[in-house]
Amino acid sequence: MPGGRANIPASESEEYFGWQDFDVKRDDVARGTACPVRACIAPLLQVPAGKSERPVCPVHGIRLHANTFVYWNGDGPSDKAHLRNFRIRPDLARKYVFASTEKAEKHRLGHEMSEDALSWNVFAGLLDAGTLRDATEFLTGRKIAAQPELYLWGERIDLAGGEPSRFEMLEKVGRELEREIRHFRTEPDVILHIPGQIVVCIEAKFGSGNTLAHESNAKADEKPTSVEGLVKRYLDRSSERTRKSIDREAIGSRLHGQLFRNIIFASEMAGKEDWQVVNLVSDEQWKETAPTSRSIEYSFENPEKDVRAYLNPDHRDRFTYRTWEDLYRRVVKEDKRLKKVADYMLSKSAHYKSAFKLA
């Protein structure tokens, strides 16, 4: 790799980069020896990254990884770099996400492939434009009576900028079902709540797949990963109401762990309210990954059949599978109020290329 580590300057760049900003046809970019930003000739420098080193462009402030990048503004506090990835209402992101003591994997917020950054830009944009109700109707397939409250990773997102608050029922159910879990507790990516009516939990995916139950040596303070462990911890500890919604005997060896936990949590959080779980994925990214994926721990296929198989008949429509691409076409594309969201999704990159096929 070209460049060196001496006197590494912190980048002052505040730019956000979409796929149109990159030139991936250059040989040196393909080899990872040059900045992928179009026409950039700045020498790369080596910076520490965990136990290894990674090349960084000091002009454009991006650290290069294997066919992707991370926003980088120096080795110090990373909020400045991460905020470059938050295009819509970064003021609220700083208040409710960056300042949160509960948000898991905050170190990944500046990654090109961050599912959290994608979820923020789209859902905060929907909220800001007053169109969250329309999106919820598409995602759930239901008529929705009012604009929902928006919670991202359990944090209430308030356009007025009120004091941060957590979704109370998430905290309560978490204490009941995961009291011993120390790291990476169940944290629905998106919760949409209409008090007295419905709780919607969304498991949002971008480049990663849905987790599958598998045997592992999970410790006592870690979430179980096996079918037996998931059923014992979550279903067997849940309320009678939740247990009646699931046919235990229909739970097979192909169990989507995160989705199963979301279903239990959604039902428990809803109480006497209605509930829905949505799996929101990228059709384009899954098509790219599925042919080469051989993992027993992740799936890049539509899980609707598997999930609905263990839901009792009157609950099967409480799980829906949707794509970011269809959300754009059905909700975002024709609504002038959502121009910022549309521009973001149209320019969003994945591995330096257009993330979504939206034509």
Residues 33-70 pLDDT 10s: 899 999 999 999 998 877 889 999 999 999 999 899 99
Compute the half-sphere exposure of residue 268: CA atoms within 13 Å on the CB side of its CA.
25
Token output for 258 = 């995160």
Residue 39 has a pLDDT of 92
pLDDT score recorded for residue 57: 95
**Per-residue pLDDT, 104:** 64
The span from the CA of 125 to the CA of 130, in Å, is 9
Return the biggest CA–CA distance within the chain.
Answer: 65
What are the residue ranges of helices labelled H in the chain? 27-30, 79-83, 90-93, 115-128, 132-140, 168-177, 227-230, 240-244, 257-270, 283-289, 304-310, 324-327, 339-347
Whole-angstrom CA distances from 83 to 71, 115, 116, 290, 356 are 9, 14, 12, 31, 22
**pLDDT tens column, 126-184:** 999 999 999 999 999 999 989 999 999 999 999 998 998 999 999 999 999 988 887 77
Rounded Cα distance between 140 and 132, Å, is 12
If you search the block for the tokens 């397939």, which residue do you land on? 141
Sign of the torsion angle spanned by Cα atoms 151, 201, 118, 327: negative
Predicted local confidence at residue 77, as pLDDT:
62
Q: What's the pLDDT at 54?
A: 92
Contact 283, 207 (CB under 8 A): no
Tokens of 8: 């590494």
Residue 308: count other Cβ atoms within 10 Å of its Cβ: 18
Residue type, 292: T
Q: Which residues contact 188 (CB under 8 A, 6 or more apart)?
A: 151, 153, 154, 170, 201, 202, 203, 262, 265, 266
Per-position pLDDT tens, the chain of length 359: 444 444 577 788 899 999 999 998 888 887 888 999 999 999 999 988 778 899 999 999 999 998 999 999 987 668 899 999 999 999 999 999 887 766 666 788 999 999 999 999 999 999 999 999 999 999 999 999 899 999 999 999 999 989 989 999 999 999 999 888 877 788 899 999 999 999 999 999 999 999 999 987 777 777 888 999 999 999 999 999 999 999 999 998 899 999 999 999 999 999 999 999 999 999 999 998 877 777 889 999 999 999 999 999 999 999 999 999 999 999 999 999 999 999 999 999 999 999 999 97
What's residue 25's pLDDT?
87
Helices (H) and strands (E) in the chain, counts: 13, 14
CB atoms within 10 A of CB 162: 10
